[in-house]
Amino acid sequence: MPKSLIKTTSKEKRVIFVGAKRSGKTTALGLLSLACDLLSQQDKAFSHYIDEKTSGICQVPSDLCQGLFPEETPSGFVYEAQMHIREKRPFRERNVTVPVCETAGEDMEVLTGPYQDSIYHQKPDWQSSDILNKYICDSHGYIMALPVSAANIPWVPDEFKDSIDEPVDEQGRYVDPDLVLKRILSAIFRYKSRNRTSPPVEGLAVLLTKSDKIMHFSKGHGMDLNTPDGQQKFLNMYFRQTMSVLKFYGLEKVKFFPFFVEVEKIRGPDNKIIIHKNNMGKPQIVIDHENNLPVFSKTTAGEAIHWILETFG
């Protein structure tokens, strides 16, 4: 069962990344770190410092700038870092210290495990686990990785389908990301409703990860993932159960951010578009060599940093 390697003090506000395996959580954290670096260069009033503590998160932006995806988060622990953000302007200064916790996708099964094998299969003691009580459900805010390319989308052209992720479990069965995220959110809100000492949710952000893989096609179907209306239309169609829980919580308190890092694609011998992989067998990230950066969602990553500053400052 995951354990924390450090303690969070009562004065700090904990924000935790949630999402299923291969939803892009670690990569998204690296992109947020890169966004902080860019904001520090572009805005004299903005500065930041990331204390890695137990997460080693600063390795991720380094890997991304070399065109490499980070390794998967090892299961069994909650990995913690502290993001220190400062905005110093005339007549106003804001300092925010946000402990950010990350846990492996496998450990998210603590929240969904009762139903893995059967819709009736229950584990009576699943809700008393340490990770559920102390780290996920007792957090102040959540950043949820929602892999939009993993949705069961029929209108992506056949020649592009090999470049789209299809999440499967160890038995090769399709894992519906909508169902996984719905159960995670339901468990969090259920726990908080029954525990008066648990802090209220102060903010919830949804990162629409891997959005570059379908953004062009979704826009052609009236679902522009860069606009609120397009996001709502897409999510209501392909992530209905997740959206039902978010609506119950209050959509006005939820922020959506398209997130991606672009990968190289090539046309295979059968004319299908496939992802170009490096000599380690992993997707090769497109690099902007002029700026020594991966090609990624800079604007929305910066907006997410400002959301953290506004919400938890």
For the chain, 313 residues long, the average pLDDT of each consecutive 10-residue run is 42 75 84 93 91 81 91 66 86 78 56 46 44 70 88 61 53 73 87 87 93 83 92 93 93 92 82 77 90 95 91 81
pLDDT of residue 17: 80
pLDDT of residue 1: 41
- How many other C-beta atoms lie within 10 A of the C-beta of residue 84? 14
CB 59 within 8 A of CB 18: no
CA angle 129, 80, 140 (to 5 degrees): 65
Nearest to 46 by CA among 306, 281, 312: 306
Within its chain, how far is the Cα of 196 from the centroid?
27
Q: What are phi and psi of 270, to 5 degrees?
A: -95, 15
Q: How far is CA 230 from CA 37, 211, 218, 241, in A?
A: 30, 13, 9, 18
Sign of CA dihedral 141, 145, 146, 148: positive
Nearest to 112 by CA among 19, 40, 31, 46: 19
Q: How far is CA 100 from CA 4, 23, 33, 285, in A?
A: 12, 17, 12, 25
Hey, where are the domains in the chain? 3-312
* Residues near 192 by beta carbon (within 8 Å), at least 6 away in sequence: 137, 198, 200, 201
pLDDT of residue 123: 46
pLDDT of residue 65: 94
- Residues linked to residue 94 through DSSP beta bridges, in sequence order: 87
Report the distance separating Cα 141 and Cα 157, nearest Å: 37
What does pTM read for this prediction? Answer: 0.82
Q: For 60, which DSSP code?
A: H
pLDDT of residue 136: 75
pLDDT of residue 116: 46
CA angle 114, 210, 149 (to 5 degrees): 65
107 in helix, strand or coil? helix
Burial of 254 (0-12, 13-18, 19+ CB in 10 A): middle
CB 185 within 8 A of CB 196: no
246 in helix, strand or coil? helix
Q: For 281, which DSSP code?
A: S
Which secondary-structure segment (H or E) carries 300?
helix 298-312
pLDDT of residue 125: 41
